[in-house]
Structure 1
Amino acid sequence: MENIFSIRTEQDFLTAAIATFRYQYENIEIYRKFVDFLKIDAETVDSLIKIPFLPIEMFKNHQILDENTTADLFFQSSGTTQMNLSKHFIADPALYEESIYRSFEKFIGKPEDFIFLGLLPSYLEKQNSSLIYMVDYLMKKSAKPENGYFLYNHSELSELLTKLKDKKVILFGVSFALLDFLDTVASSGLSISGSEHLTIIETGGMKGRKEEMTKDELLKILQDGFKTEKIYSEYSMTELLSQAYSLGNNEYQCPEWMKILVRNAEDPFSYEKEGRTGAINIIDLANIHSCSFVATQDLGKTLSGDRFQVLGRIDHSDIRGCSLLVS
């Protein structure tokens, strides 16, 4: 397989995607059975829209793993104990780490330049979180003594943000926890000093904890509360090894080895034109040892310039820890 991090052009991506499809058809039993069930001849697949996308629900009931590998590490989706949770087995953690680093560097900057704080209580309280693994890795690369996580110790976080106002700080936060923090600040007389060096990266996830609001409303509240224009968003999920980032306007971009297609919500084998809403399919070529072609339950639309928006969830699908707000 070619190095996915050397992809530069659309043709590079297509070549790598078709090669990945053929490899996974041959070496991942569940995916091969899925393609065969659809009566698709793998030899005829020569474009992105001909590639079958595995329903994301398959990660709940099957070990989707390259037959040539083993995996001691796995990530598990968040959810209630009553839910059947997805598991994503990771055969090559170093590949995930390189994907994390390169994507963050492309959209945000070198991790070594930042202090990383995490306000991710719902993820810290569960094991096997891909999000915590990602933030842990960024903290390790940063190696700043101030790096750290916060559960519900809001006053300590407020004091630290004030203390670090002249340093470059990234605060990763799940949406409801960021709002809870701002509520505590407002009700207890704490303050947050505005800082041009503070960047908030919200990771989605309301999980019924707050009154439903649009993503634009959320971003505005966070801008006002944290006194910074730099309210960014990260889009990924347990079943992926790559991340897309939004640097504003709820418009995401993918790294070169990741791509979004929008399928018709009623017909999974047809695709919507740019600007039309449908269900999101994701190609993540870092997922070489599981499945790189995932049909999600998220709604969205593609925009010009390889940008996309996430607009909510398909009705009747499970509540997911990384689901975004309806926009």
Structure 2
Amino acid sequence: MTSSFPFTIKSDQEFEEAALNLFQKQFQSNLVYREFCEHLNVNSKEVTSIQDIPFLPIQFFKTHQVKTGHFTPEVTFLSSGTTGQVQSQHQVKDLSLYQKSFTATFEHFYGSIEDFVVLGLLPSYLEREGSSLIYMVEDFIRKSNYKESGFYLNELDQLSEILIKLDESGHKILLIGVSFALLDLVEKTSFQLKNTIVMETGGMKGRRKEMIRQELHDILSKGFGVEDIHSEYGMTELLSQAYSKGQSKFECPPHMKILIRDTEDPFQYLENGKTGGINVIDLANIDSCPFIATQDLGKQINSNEFEILGRFDQSDIRGCNLLVL
């Protein structure tokens, strides 16, 4: 693997070749994943397409050390959860790979992060240890060329004042926040923003009742005075993210892909427009597992776009876009 892998991928054919090569390496070196595959009686030599690759249920990150090879992690990211819940653990061998992944992903959709004032409104994440989202936004803030970039915990009045002033001055602004905190902000102040991307990362964290994404976005759109609310779809167990620029239509970067599995038969994949479970291939996840079966429900719109519709019944409340049907 070169240091530029997998961020040079440009085509579906390159993606498939890389995914199949990674599967073979995972099968050889990832003991948890190999045991899972063998339990399914998978013959690695018969895996010749993406649809043949087994996807590891995301719950394994709660019960096992999902690692490719033997290493001491540079950091262990932890999922959010209420008291008493078992947290997922993602042991990251190389933090620079995560940095390359989230930077390449953001810049693929939005351009250089250096050009943005980055305002983070993520109180529930700041109040705990081990958040991969906080690490990402912290890095964005560090790379931003603006001294105004930073995190805000409960200083909503101060944030409102800074946001209005910066937006009026014509600066490009990224306001990235957890859903309940963004709602708190628009209840205190009414905005008419012209140069700000408002991006929600999902989740009420028990602070408010859950609501469907369309209802949330309607409230935020009116409150901030913007046409579209953007969204980030990421999770502790991955190193890459998908983004939505509005209308709840998400896109993956070239090194990430989703497949929609049948909820009754996890080895069958559904055509566009059909609701099922979201499987993710994250080619940056070379040191844990690139092939994850999430507990999220969604549907493929076309080859480039997908929607997130909710979560399976009985699945844990977690930190990545918990928005119910």
TM-score category of the 2 structures, normalised to the smaller one: over 0.9
Matches of 1:182 and 1:195 in 2, distance apart? Answer: 12
2:179 is matched with 175
Question: Which of 260, 263, 267 is matched with 2:261 structurally?
Answer: 263
Corresponding residue SS for 1:8: coil
Corresponding residue SS for 1:164: helix
C-alpha deviation, 1:14, in angstroms: 0.5
Q: What letter matches 1:127 in structure 2?
A: E
Question: Which of 58, 61, 65 is matched with 2:60 structurally?
Answer: 58
Conserved? CA contact 1:313–1:323, under 8 Å: no
Conserved? CA contact 1:174–1:205, under 8 Å: yes
Matches of 2:187 and 2:193 in 1, distance apart? Answer: 19
Matches of 1:289 and 1:72 in 2, distance apart? Answer: 12
Question: Which of 156, 160, 163 is matched with 2:158 structurally?
Answer: 156
CA RMSD of aligned residues (A): 1.2
Matches of 2:228 and 2:308 in 1, distance apart? Answer: 19
Conserved? CA contact 1:263–1:270, under 8 Å: yes
Matches of 1:60 and 1:212 in 2, distance apart? Answer: 24
Q: What CA deviation, in whole Å up to 9, does each residue of 1:29-64 have, x standing for no partner?
A: 101111111110011111111100000000001111
1:296 is matched with 294
Matches of 1:47 and 1:69 in 2, distance apart? Answer: 29
Matches of 1:262 and 1:46 in 2, distance apart? Answer: 19
Q: 1:173-252 to 2 correspondence within 5 Å?
A: 173-185=177-189, 191-192=190-191, 194-252=192-250
Q: What letter matches 2:215 in structure 1?
A: E
Identity of aligned residues (%): 50
Q: What letter matches 2:259 in structure 1?
A: L
C-alpha deviation, 1:168, in angstroms: 1.1
Conserved? CA contact 2:78–2:131, under 8 Å: yes
Conserved? CA contact 2:124–2:205, under 8 Å: no
Conserved? CA contact 1:198–1:230, under 8 Å: no
**Are 2:33 and 1:35 equivalent residues in the alignment?**
no
2:92 is matched with 90
Conserved? CA contact 1:262–1:271, under 8 Å: yes
C-alpha deviation, 1:230, in angstroms: 4.1
Q: What letter matches 1:247 in structure 2?
A: K
Q: What letter matches 2:179 in structure 1?
A: S
Instruction: Tell me the TM-score normalised to structure 1 length.
Output: 0.95
C-alpha deviation, 1:223, in angstroms: 1.1
Corresponding residue SS for 2:7: helix
Matches of 2:27 and 2:155 in 1, distance apart? Answer: 48
2:7 is matched with 5
C-alpha deviation, 1:152, in angstroms: 1.3
Corresponding residue SS for 1:240: coil
Matches of 2:105 and 2:161 in 1, distance apart? Answer: 30
Matches of 2:9 and 2:210 in 1, distance apart? Answer: 39
Q: Unmatched 5+ residue regions in structure 1?
A: 186-190
**Are 2:266 and 1:275 equivalent residues in the alignment?**
no
C-alpha deviation, 1:316, in angstroms: 0.8
C-alpha deviation, 1:207, in angstroms: 2.9
Matches of 1:301 and 1:106 in 2, distance apart? Answer: 23
Instruction: Tell me the TM-score normalised to structure 2 length.
Output: 0.96
Conserved? CA contact 2:66–2:91, under 8 Å: yes
Conserved? CA contact 2:242–2:250, under 8 Å: yes
Corresponding residue SS for 1:320: coil
Q: What letter matches 1:24 in structure 2?
A: Q
> Structure 1's 313 and 176: CA in aligned 2 closer, same or farther, altered over 3 A?
same
Matches of 1:52 and 1:207 in 2, distance apart? Answer: 31
Matches of 1:211 and 1:87 in 2, distance apart? Answer: 27
Corresponding residue SS for 1:200: strand
Conserved? CA contact 1:311–1:324, under 8 Å: no
C-alpha deviation, 1:142, in angstroms: 1.0
Q: What letter matches 2:38 in structure 1?
A: D
Conserved? CA contact 1:244–1:254, under 8 Å: yes
Matches of 1:83 and 1:305 in 2, distance apart? Answer: 36
Corresponding residue SS for 1:323: coil
C-alpha deviation, 1:69, in angstroms: 3.2
C-alpha deviation, 1:72, in angstroms: 2.6
